[in-house]
Chains A and B, each alone.
Chain A
Amino acid sequence: MNDGETLGDRTSAEKTTARVVVIGVGNLYRRDDAAGLLVAQRLRQEAPGHVTVMELEGEPTALLEVWKDARAVVLIDAVFSGAEAGTIHRLDAQAGAIPQELFRYSTHAVSVAEAIELARALGQLPPKLVVYGIEGKDFSAGVGLSPEVEGRLAELTERVLQELLDATEAEA
């Protein structure tokens, strides 16, 4: 752990200096697209104090900015690949290119997958960047998850939590 950095900051004020960061990405008003944000909200209660929890919309430069100084990042987003709704995907950015078609539902022109590839092209990928994608079904305008996604949120939160603990151990 690095001395002098602001630890345990779990407000929405985005700290870019944190070493272990978990980022929920999505849009609260796009039904299943909110899944990443909702997991991040749960993690605000459950994640270890030194982990910075952020909720972002997937805006690429904000992501790149956060990644630049982070040692380990876990990112959670809803995806759409044609798999069964609620399926949890785990992707390691360091292991290779992230399939672009998974993240079609970005509200931004540059999706999470493109942001990752952009960071890779610029040599700005953090040493560890793991993406958890949960397969969504309904991305229409509105609030409320589909039952298949809702039913997997607790498990997804658990898995991310474990990932964060592993990352923290690796840091120590």
Chain B
Amino acid sequence: MKNRTIKVDALARVEGEGGLYVKMRGDTVVDVKLRIYEPPRFFEAFLRGRDFREPVDITARICGICPIAYQMSAAQAMERICRVKVEGQLRALRRLIYCGEWIESHALHVYLLHAPDFLGYESAIHLAQDHPDIVKRALELKKIGNELMILLGGREVHPINLRVGGFYWVPTRKDLEPLVEKLKWAREAALETVRLVATFPFPDFEQDYEFVALRHPDEYAITEGRLVSNKGLDIDISEYDEHFVEEHAQHSTSLRSHIKERGAYFVGPLARYSLNFDKLSPLAQQAAREAGLGPVCRNPFKSIIVRSVETVYACEEALRIIEEYEMPDKPAVEVQPRAGTGFGCTEAPRGILYHRYTIDIDGIILDAKIVAPTSQNQEIIESDVDYFVRQNATLPDDKLTWLCEQAIRNYDPCISCSCHFLRLHIERE
């Protein structure tokens, strides 16, 4: 049997730096490991002994792409401990800034990171050389997401205006007005995006995933909901630790999550969409149907379409919130510390982001746990790559490597959240 070795030293176009190791004997896959080298628990240790108001700002630093997700999960957990509910327009504003994060994150991934795979470009730079208009549209769309985050968050990277209980400052109706025309443009651009990506060639690839996402009775869940799956899970987020377990894998210092009873699970746009299609707006549903999607999508390559559909939704939702906005009397609800343990879970662009904190009566943090979407998807990514490599084992090494990278990028892995420094090794013995 002929043995081959492939080594690739950079996994391009994922957030942070990612690494994958695939070992093959002839055309048989022996092993697939997503390697993550980061000592995982810096932030959790860093938070112990700090004031309960601080994680909102500190955890925002974990990721430059999805700071709002970190801020919101942290704030929600603290509010739950302190028995405070953030409702009405303050809740709406949180959803609004989260829409901004979805728009900017999805625009980045769809156009600059994922589209080059389908169009046969090595990177967005090469795409920009041939199709500057497409890239300019992407940048403009992303910028509008950023503008929402700047207005409500103070700045787009590591926003500073969010706090436990709400905001430090809230906008007037007039402050939000200039965004309306821009968001209308963005909604059209997002619809154009759906139409564009629907024409991409997609490999025929599906697995019987367990999708996990938040679900809310009244809306497409972003900031809150119950945790549900297509295999019977339906729990309050406080029950997360009873159903999900994180373990160290030998090849990785990042933790990998699975459902205790059943194993690997899938979080992110495909899971959200497939569990909550009925909660999307009619326009987003129609865009999805026109792009050839049913109410459930199990092909991770088509996540690019789903992200685009979610972008349409986020633009619409932002417009709706602005339309119905009335400035609240106070920018935040008063929050007094109480001793206890609380949970926060929100839909980061890449999937559910879970926080758990225990604080004492003075609001000092005794314990913190953060589970990022990418560590939750890790087993699924490995299983996709494994399956995909088996299906395509006879391809030459460079093509196979390209496909593996693509299979990983389907998940928009934010490796900077779960780890930092990785490399890619594909090895055939």
B-binding residues in A (CB < 8 A) = 12-14, 27-30, 56-62, 64-65, 104-105, 107-110, 114, 117-118, 121-123, 139-142
Contacts and interface: CB of A to CB of B under 8 A. Distances in A.
A13, A28, A57: residue with the most chain B Cβ atoms closer than 10 Å: A57
Contact of A62 (B38, B154, B156, B160): B156
Given A62-B146, A121-B128, A122-B132, A109 B64 contact: no
B179 to A, nearest CB: 16
A28, A30, A108, A109: residue with the most chain B Cβ atoms closer than 10 Å: A109
Nearest to B65: A108
A122 B124 CA distance: 11
Interface in B116-159: 123-125, 128-129, 132, 135-136, 139, 142-143, 146, 150, 154-158
B42 A141 contact: yes
Nearest to B133: A122
A63 B146 CA distance: 12
A121 B125 contact: yes
6 contacts: A29-B43, A56-B157, A58-B64, A109-B113, A118-B125, A123-B132
A62 B139 contact: no
A14 B43 contact: no
B221 interface: no
A60 B113 CA distance: 12
A157 to B, nearest CB: 22
A124 B405 CA distance: 29
> Chain A interface secondary structure, helix, strand, loop or mixed?
loop
Nearest to A80: B421
A62 B157 contact: yes
B143 A122 contact: no
B39 A110 contact: no
Nearest to A113: B125
B16 A142 contact: no
B120 to A, nearest CB: 16
B64, B129, B160: residue with the most chain A Cβ atoms closer than 10 Å: B64
B53 interface: no
Contact of A121 (B13, B108, B132, B158): B132
B404 interface: no
A53 to B, nearest CB: 14
B15 interface: yes
B39 A141 contact: yes
Given A27-B64, A109-B15, A139-B421, A14 B112 contact: no
B420 interface: yes
B416 interface: yes
A141 B155 contact: no
Nearest to B158: A57
A123 B104 CA distance: 22
A140 B135 CA distance: 33
B310 interface: no
Contacts of B421: 105, 139
B125 A29 contact: no
Contacts of B46: 29
B14 interface: yes
Given A64-B139, A104-B17, A29 B155 contact: no
Contact of A59 (B39, B43, B157): B157
Interface in B16-36: 16-17
Interface string B404-429: 00000000000010001100000000
A60 B142 CA distance: 10
